[in-house]
Amino acid sequence: MSLTRRSFCSTLTAAPLLQGQTPRAQTSRPNFLLMVTDDHGIGDIACYGHPEVRTPNLDRLAASGCRFTQWYSNAPVCSASRAAILTGKYPDRTGVKGALPSQPTWDVPGLRQGETTLPARLRGMGYRTAAIGKWHLGSAPESRPRAQGFDDFFGWYSGWLDAYSHRYYQLGAPPGKIFHDLWHNETEVFEEPAYMTELLGRQASAFLAAQRGEQPWMLYLTFGAPHYSMMAPAKYLERFPASMPRDRRTHLAMVAAVDDVIGSLLDQLQQTGMDRNTVVFFLADNGATREVRASSDGKPYTGGSNGDFRGYKLGLFDGGMRVPCLWRAPGMVDAGMVWDRPMASMDIMPTILWLADPAAAPPAGIDGQNLLPVLRGQKPPHEYLFWSHENQRAVRHGDWKLILNPPQFPGEEVDAKVWLSNMATDPGERTNFAEKERPRVADLTGRLRQWEREVGLAGQ
């Protein structure tokens, strides 16, 4: 498949309306729907080989586009991973590292003033841009969504919210804190007891309904689910057997609610004819968590699944970073395509910007690459991919992946400071090849140290 950008537009323009659709004037440039879930493992979607999950709408999205099986988040935690999505950079270059704190003072620094972001670039091209859902990229005025390129914002600044009261709370060691955190632009709004996933769906649907086709748009829809707080209405829980472990049942019910919202939005795009001209990305920010706070019994959480991959959120084994990613681009990506080589969340920005205007030069200083030439075989995928989280470091080169200071999880402790995996023969990272491959370890360690210097991590 080697369609040009011009033939992409002509394909969209020539596509017939489905029966019953109401035609709308179409822009010559595609719209973008970018959806992100939170703490959502690759074992939490049916089309990745997990039939106990109920995700028919994500499955049909996969069937209509490309399903990535080695898609990597750029960090195993939310703020940093989202910074990469919106900037096309390794998070360390943006200054957003780890998970930003949640404070009722609304002065947490995150994305810096003047940062080049995807929405800011698109807005400069004439796009209408909106962010709905979790932000967690800073609550200081210069870091908020509208300061970073979004025309409209409905959502929250904190790392998570109670699904019904829309409050963030931190209990336990003093000082505890609890505060309401739901906003429409700069105005605090109160929507309790609306279930958060459904509330976000309502807001996203209203945004789509307001688009009339004269102006292209980008919607950044970021769900809080299935991150803690672990809550789901009975109508979603009832889709899963009562005999299922409680945490797994609740987790999958939360995913099912997200799937319903996504299905309704895909239907809305189809019914209005906008699906012919809308590029859809879906991905998770990082893998499923092991955090005790998410569990119902005070033990490490087991509700989410990272499939066969080792590790969890907060760690640099693949379980924390290899996440589900689906991409539908009408006329550009074959339906049912599966891509099985490493790509990363920072690749979304340059891909979207090229689709919006192929004549525009990519922003300076980004690390991501346009996906289309890679999928067409015109360019190779990343030769090296790098990660950092606290004192952990990792690099992937071809089928080899090196981790320095590998993460420790309850019941899965690691007694080595250096871990080398062959991802082709051992994708679960169970065997450490470090002793047998000392020259490779030395080379990859050197590459990591060079990368640390380039992104400002040297000495940290």
Q: Calculate what percentage of the chain has a pLDDT beyond 90.
A: 90
Domains of the chain: 29-375 (3.40.720.10), 384-455 (3.30.1120.10)
State CA 460 to chain mean position distance. Answer: 26
User: How far apart, in whole angstroms, are the C-alpha atoms of residue 75 and residue 450?
Assistant: 19
CA atoms within 13 A on the CB side of 248: 16
Q: Calculate what percentage of the chain has a pLDDT beyond 70.
A: 93
Q: What totals of helices (H) and strands (E) does the chain contain, helices first?
A: 11, 18
pLDDT value of residue 171: 73
> Is the pLDDT higher at 425 or at 24?
425
Whether the predicted pLDDT of 169 surpasses 50: yes
pLDDT value of residue 4: 36
pLDDT value of residue 220: 99
pLDDT value of residue 15: 33
223-256 residues labelled b (16+ CB within 10 A) or e (exposed): bbbbbbbbbbeeebbeebeeebeebbbbbbbbbb
pLDDT value of residue 1: 34
pLDDT band at 173 (very low <50, low <70, confident <90, very high): confident
pLDDT band at 175 (very low <50, low <70, confident <90, very high): confident
Whether the predicted pLDDT of 361 surpasses 80: yes
Q: Which of 242, 243, 269, 239 is nearest to 256 (CA)?
A: 239
Query: What are 285-339's pLDDT values in tens digits?
Result: 999 999 999 999 999 999 999 999 999 999 999 999 999 999 999 999 999 999 9
Query: What are 373-406's pLDDT values in tens digits?
Result: 999 999 999 999 999 999 999 999 999 999 999 9
The SS3 call for residue 136 is coil
The DSSP bridge partners found for residue 33 are 219, 280
Whether the predicted pLDDT of 99 surpasses 70: yes
Where in the sequence numbering do the catalytic residues fall? Answer: 78, 136
Query: What are 12-54's pLDDT values in tens digits?
Result: 333 332 223 333 444 589 999 999 999 999 999 999 999 999 9
Q: What is the mean pLDDT of residues 126-130?
A: 98
